[in-house]
């Protein structure tokens, strides 16, 4: 086997390792949110705070989300969200944002600008789980792409240098 083949296999191994790390991270954070019984009102407040900081400081927040593949496999992806607006009407809350993807299994690790930023609309809602005694948990799903769902945006992972890549 040539050295270039070894390097290619090593890079592929790193991508699979990153995928596994994101899977564990998404699952762990989901479980903590469920255990904490976070409500949609709390999550809406967090997104409002993110929108304010995005407006004032250009803040983007790290987000993990699940993506269903064509073969019905579901794997987490990673990106950065710039929250533009939070809209609440009746019992519905929607978040207008721009997503810069930084990791997918197919593409591997992406630098900002490698893939065009995409505008997304997220919906925040409480999901009822009858398997857990009628317990509710908060969910944030994409409206444009039903294959992208269960977004978890982290308040403690912020960067302000991504504005040039948002267009």
Domain residue spans in the chain?
3-165
Q: What's the mean per-residue pLDDT of the chain?
A: 92
In angstroms, the CA 109 to CA 162 distance is 16
Q: Which helix (H) or strand (E) holds 3?
A: helix 3-36
Distance (Å, whole) CA 109 – CA 93? 31
Q: Report CA-CA distances (Å) from 89 to 46, 51, 70, 93.
A: 17, 17, 33, 6
pLDDT in tens, 61-108: 999 999 999 888 999 999 999 999 999 988 889 999 999 999 999 999
Question: Cβ atoms within 10 A of the Cβ of 62, count?
Answer: 17
Judged on CB neighbours under 10 Å (0-12, 13-18, 19+), 71 is exposed
Give the model's pLDDT for residue 161.
95
pLDDT score, position 133: 66
């Amino acid at each position: 086997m040539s050295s270039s083949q070894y390097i290619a296999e090593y890079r592929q191994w790193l991508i699979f390792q990153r995928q596994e790390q994101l899977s564990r991270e998404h699952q762990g954070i989901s479980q903590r949110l469920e255990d904490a019984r976070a409500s949609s009102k709390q999550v809406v407040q967090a997104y409002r705070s993110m929108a304010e900081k995005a407006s004032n400081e250009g803040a983007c927040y790290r987000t993990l989300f699940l993506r269903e593949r064509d073969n019905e496999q579901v794997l987490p992806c990673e990106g950065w969200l710039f929250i533009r607006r939070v809209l609440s009407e009746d019992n519905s809350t929607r978040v207008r944002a721009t997503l810069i993807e930084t990791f997918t299994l197919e593409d591997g690790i992406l630098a900002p600008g490698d893939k065009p930023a995409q505008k997304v609309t997220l919906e925040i809602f409480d999901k009822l789980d009858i398997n857990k005694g009628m317990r509710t948990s908060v969910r944030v799903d994409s409206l444009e792409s039903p294959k992208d769902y269960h977004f978890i945006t982290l308040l403690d992972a912020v960067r302000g240098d991504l504005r040039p890549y948002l267009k």
